[in-house]
Amino acid sequence: MGSTPGSFAIARDLRRSLAVVRPDLELDAPHLKLVDTRRYLRWLLTYLLVQPAKHGLDAHPALWTGSCFQDLVGARLLTGFSVAPLRAALPRLSLRSLLRDVGLEETPLHPAPDDLLRRAGVGRLTDLAAGVYAVDPELVGRSSLVVAARTLASVVGVQLGFSRTRLAPFLGATPQTVGRLASRRLAPAAEQALRLRFGLEERVQWRGRPAA
């Protein structure tokens, strides 16, 4: 645990990059402090998770893309990012405490069953698959992440009984392509992430509804 000279170099280079992209910004001097205790690291994690509320952002903390909450609960898979070092540094980090940080009920997240996903429809399925890989839900292009999202939606969609013809317009692909994608083998974590993401989004939505 702790910062290294490399960490300070990253902060310096990030500041320089921002200055090039946005020379009009007047940036305060960076405040750098060694992360030398688990207590401080846990405080920093909470600080990041509550940014939407702190700054009045139009996003629920649990679904805000600027923190690692979704990754920690298994609802997003970012290429090159691993939650293992953070969990190793904070071995007592619990789902209950994370849910508390973002203002949600402190009960386990369960993968959505087939009947709920089927009822949600193809459009929602596509949005969930895009969210798992943090790509635009329009699924434009052929980047590896967009293809991964199309594959995830195709495999799960066909499993749910949606036809290739019905899936194709939402995935920006032909029915034949959907069929090929649906025949691929998914990593278990991908389908699990999609199902957990549905449960997370539903919990956020229900929390915002007025009592009957």
What percent of the chain is predicted at pLDDT more than 70?
93
pLDDT band at 18 (very low <50, low <70, confident <90, very high): confident
Side-chain-side CA neighbours of 149 within 13 Å: the count stands at 31
What is the fold, at CATH topology level, of the domain defined by 114-207?
Chromosomal Replication Initiator Protein Dnaa; Chain: A; (1.10.1750)
Q: What is the mean pLDDT of residues 8-20?
A: 79
On whether the pTM is more than 0.85, the answer is: no
Which one-letter amino acid corresponds to residue 48? L
- Which of 80, 81, 58, 61 shows the shortest CA–CA distance to 69? 61
Reported confidence tier of residue 1, pLDDT bands at 50, 70, 90:
low
Domain ranges (residues) in the chain: 1-36, 114-207
pLDDT exceeds cutoff 50 at 211:
no
Number of continuous H segments (helices) and E segments (strands) in the chain: 12, 0
- Range 46-54 average pLDDT: 91
Q: How confident is the model at residue 209 (pLDDT cuts 50, 70, 90)?
A: very low
Hey, how many other C-beta atoms are within 10 angstroms of the C-beta on 18? 12
Question: Cα–Cα distance between 37 and 58 in angstroms, integer?
Answer: 32
Residue 8 has pLDDT above 80, yes or no: no
